[in-house]
Amino acid sequence: MPVKTKRIIKKKRDVLTLARKRFCRLCVDKVKSIDYKEAKRLEAFIKERGKILSPRISGNCAKHQRRITEAIKKARFMSLLPYTRV
């Protein structure tokens, strides 16, 4: 009679718990305000094509993600940052 082996099924949530915890860089640096004129700082939160990074990828907390998004949109409107990159 063949021997039955138990399959170990790893669920997605088990794998995610092993991942390193993200932290908000702005909370760690104790940044008081995010200004739309600081284009260099805002470029760190934009992908190559010009999309804004999600908080899941960037590691920002909700409060800072909202402020960063607002600042990026203002900077784009003022032509400090490009809308898209080709």
User: What's the CATH code of the domain at 30?
Assistant: 4.10.640.10
Is 84 inside any structural domain? no
Is 14 inside any structural domain? no
Q: So what's the pLDDT on residue 3?
A: 64
Domain count, the chain: 1
Q: So what's the pLDDT on residue 15?
A: 55
List the chain residues with pLDDT less than 50: none
Q: So what's the pLDDT on residue 85?
A: 81
Give the residue numbers spanning the domain of 70.
Answer: 24-77
Is 30 inside any structural domain? yes
Name residues whose C-beta falls within 8 Å of residue 71's C-beta, 6 or more positions apart in sequence.
Answer: 34, 35, 36, 38, 42
pTM: predicted TM-score of the whole model, two decimal places: 0.73
Write the CA distances from 86 to 49, 51, 64, integer angstroms: 7, 12, 28
Is 31 inside any structural domain? yes
Q: So what's the pLDDT on residue 10?
A: 63
Q: So what's the pLDDT on residue 8?
A: 61
Q: So what's the pLDDT on residue 86?
A: 78
Q: DSSP secondary-structure letter at 35?
A: -
